[in-house]
């Protein structure tokens, strides 16, 4: 529950995208947030307050004169109760009013009275977004420290195509999570591998493994949320690219090796999460192998390069993090791997605890010994790993070690 304990005021203004605010609200409460909805009058023309009341389990406020507020200070009470105000969709008119400091309805009044961050997700026709007046307003909102999420480009409800679409609810949730994440890796470049590799036998067959890529993708997402620039060299998986992450898709270990070595010199951190095949097929058949040929086929294997060890051996190597997925003797094997591959930090896990699933149990091994993390979801473990990594980097820089 990544937004557990967070109180968020969700402001909804008049725009077609208001219907998407219902899904956004579901995602926010699903992530543990307590959400209080405030709508502008025009917003209620698109979706009624009843929908948001049912989804948030709280009364929805529209009017600054609402008699349900005991002291008639809705604008103060509602803004003081919030850790952040997110307005999605934010219309051109709303942005203009906030930029001017107007307080002519409940939402703009509580925005003016706030003592918490304001985040807005603009949604409007592309001409309205491009209008010099909106450009000016957005520039002054930015100058006032207001976070602008999006907008995206694409086909709009009016049938025109261009910039001005509200970000999708999932993207807004991710922007919100990133907003609340301390920027422990700000300014760092993180290079990673994730997923399995696929070693072709012929044009349709190959050798691969059951790595889902979930742990690697969760770490890429946590690193991006923590403010780093993340490049993820990924084997074949069916996972969406985490927001803010650059994905380089590859198939084989050799392709993964080449993609990593090309970028390693520019990275501050390298995290090898991929389940790289140890061997590849020596002679890949150009045509599909036919079983009628008789006899059992013989496949000769060659050893693949060790990507992690090769990165760690580079002069001025990035800070390297490796994984050790073992089925027994975790501590012994992990520490041995740490020494053999010459990497400062190894994340160890027993495959029976997490391979392919949502949850995992890991132990971190470094030169100070072993640090078990409590069993948790891969997203939570990824967050803790990034926190630990950031502390190690800082410590190294303070002591001047390499």
The verdict on 322 binding ligand C5P (CB under 6 A) reads: yes
Q: Measured from the CB of residue 362, what is the shortest distance to ligand C5P in angstroms?
A: 12
The verdict on 217 binding ligand C5P (CB under 6 A) reads: no
Let me know if 310 is exposed, middle or buried by CB neighbors in 10 A (0-12, 13-18, 19+).
middle
Specify the stretch interacting with ligand C5P by CB under 6 A; choose among 179-187, 237-245, 266-274, 385-393. Answer: 266-274
Q: Which of 116, 158, 320, 398 is catalytic?
A: 158
Tokens at 273, concatenated: 């999460």
CB of 58 or CB of 371, closer to ligand C5P? 371
Specify the stretch interacting with ligand C5P by CB under 6 A; choose among 73-81, 272-280, 365-373, 389-397. Answer: 272-280
CB of 174 or CB of 306, closer to ligand C5P? 306
CB of 340 or CB of 371, closer to ligand C5P? 340
Tokens at 203, concatenated: 């044009």
Please count the other Cβ atoms lying within 10 Å of the Cβ belonging to residue 312. Answer: 21
The verdict on 306 binding ligand C5P (CB under 6 A) reads: yes
The verdict on 323 binding ligand C5P (CB under 6 A) reads: yes
Q: Measured from the CB of residue 223, what is the shortest distance to ligand C5P in angstroms?
A: 15
C-alpha R_g of the chain: 26
Specify the stretch interacting with ligand C5P by CB under 6 A; choose among 76-84, 119-127, 273-281, 389-397. Answer: 273-281
CB of 79 or CB of 193, closer to ligand C5P? 193
d(CA 3, CA 1): 6
CB of 56 or CB of 349, closer to ligand C5P? 349
The verdict on 195 binding ligand C5P (CB under 6 A) reads: no
Report helix, strand or coil for 112.
Answer: helix
The verdict on 276 binding ligand C5P (CB under 6 A) reads: yes
Which single residue is written with the structure tokens 């998986």? 237
Contact 170, 152 (CB under 8 A): no
- Respond yes or no on whether the N-terminal peptide bond of residue 89 is cis (omega within 30° of 0): yes
| E runs forming strands in 204-311 | 206-207, 229-234, 245-249, 269-272, 279-281, 301-303
Is-catalytic flag, 158?
yes
Selected from 13, 40, 193, 228, the binder of ligand C5P by CB under 6 A is 193
Q: Distances from the Cα of 95 to the Cαs of 32, 43, 80, 129, in angstroms?
A: 28, 14, 21, 11
d(CA 196, CA 328): 21
The verdict on 274 binding ligand C5P (CB under 6 A) reads: yes
The verdict on 307 binding ligand C5P (CB under 6 A) reads: yes
The verdict on 237 binding ligand C5P (CB under 6 A) reads: no
CB of 149 or CB of 323, closer to ligand C5P? 323
d(CA 304, CA 321): 19
**Residues with Cβ within 8 Å of residue 14, at least 6 apart in sequence:** 40, 41, 42, 43, 45, 46, 91, 93
Vertex 108, ends 105 and 109: CA angle to 5°?
75
**Residues with Cβ within 8 Å of residue 400, at least 6 apart in sequence:** none
Residue of 112, 115, 133 whose CA lies nearest to 124? 133
* CA atoms within a 13 Å half-sphere pointing along the CA-CB vector of 100: 11
Q: Measured from the CB of residue 260, what is the shortest distance to ligand C5P in angstroms?
A: 8
Specify the stretch interacting with ligand C5P by CB under 6 A; choose among 80-88, 89-97, 141-149, 316-324. Answer: 316-324
CB of 136 or CB of 371, closer to ligand C5P? 371
Q: Measured from the CB of residue 323, what is the shortest distance to ligand C5P in angstroms?
A: 4
The verdict on 37 binding ligand C5P (CB under 6 A) reads: no
The verdict on 234 binding ligand C5P (CB under 6 A) reads: no
Q: List interacting residues with ligand C5P (CB under 6 A).
A: 193, 253, 272-274, 276, 304, 306-308, 322-324, 337
Write out the catalytic residue numbers.
158
């Amino acid at each position: 529950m990544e937004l557990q304990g967070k109180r968020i005021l969700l402001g909804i203004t008049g725009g077609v995208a208001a219907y998407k605010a219902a899904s956004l609200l579901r995602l926010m409460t699903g992530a543990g947030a307590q959400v209080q909805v405030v709508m502008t009058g025009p917003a209620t023309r698109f979706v009624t307050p009843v929908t948001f009341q049912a989804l948030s389990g709280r009364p929805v406020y529209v009017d600054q004169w609402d008699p349900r507020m005991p002291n008639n200070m809705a604008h103060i009470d509602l803004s003081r109760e919030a850790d952040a105000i997110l307005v999605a969709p934010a219309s051109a008119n709303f942005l203009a009013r906030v930029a001017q400091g107007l307080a002519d309805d409940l939402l703009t009044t509580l925005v003016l009275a706030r003592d918490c961050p304001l985040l807005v997700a603009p949604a409007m026709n592309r001409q309205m977004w491009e209008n010099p007046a909106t450009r000016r307003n957005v520039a002054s909102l930015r100058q006032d420290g207001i976070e602008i999420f999006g907008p995206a480009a694409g086909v709009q409800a009016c049938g025109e195509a261009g910039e001005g679409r509200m970000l999708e609810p999932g993207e807004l949730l991710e922007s919100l999570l990133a907003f609340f994440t301390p920027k422990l890796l700000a300014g760092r470049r993180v290079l990673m591998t994730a997923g399995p590799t696929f070693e072709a036998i012929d044009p349709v067959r190959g050798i691969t493994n059951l790595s889902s890529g979930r742990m690697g993708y969760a770490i890429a997402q946590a690193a991006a949320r923590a403010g780093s620039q993340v490049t993820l060299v990924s084997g074949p998986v069916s996972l969406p690219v985490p927001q803010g992450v650059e994905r380089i898709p590859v198939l084989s270990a050799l392709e993964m090796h080449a993609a990593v070595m090309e970028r390693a010199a520019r990275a501050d951190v390298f995290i090898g999460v991929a389940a790289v095949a140890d061997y590849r097929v020596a002679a890949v058949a150009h045509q599909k192998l036919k079983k009628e040929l008789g006899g059992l086929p013989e496949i000769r294997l060659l050893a693949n390069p060790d990507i992690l060890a090769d990165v760690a051996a580079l002069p001025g190597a990035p800070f390297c993090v490796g994984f050790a997925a073992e089925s027994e003797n975790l501590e012994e094997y992990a520490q041995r791997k740490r020494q053999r591959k010459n990497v400062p930090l190894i994340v160890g896990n027993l495959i029976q605890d997490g391979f392919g699933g949502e949850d995992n149990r890991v132990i971190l091994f470094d030169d100070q010994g072993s640090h078990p993390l409590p069993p948790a979801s891969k997203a939570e473990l990824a967050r803790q790993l990034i926190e630990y990594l950031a502390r190690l980097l800082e410590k190294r820089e303070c002591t001047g070690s390499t």
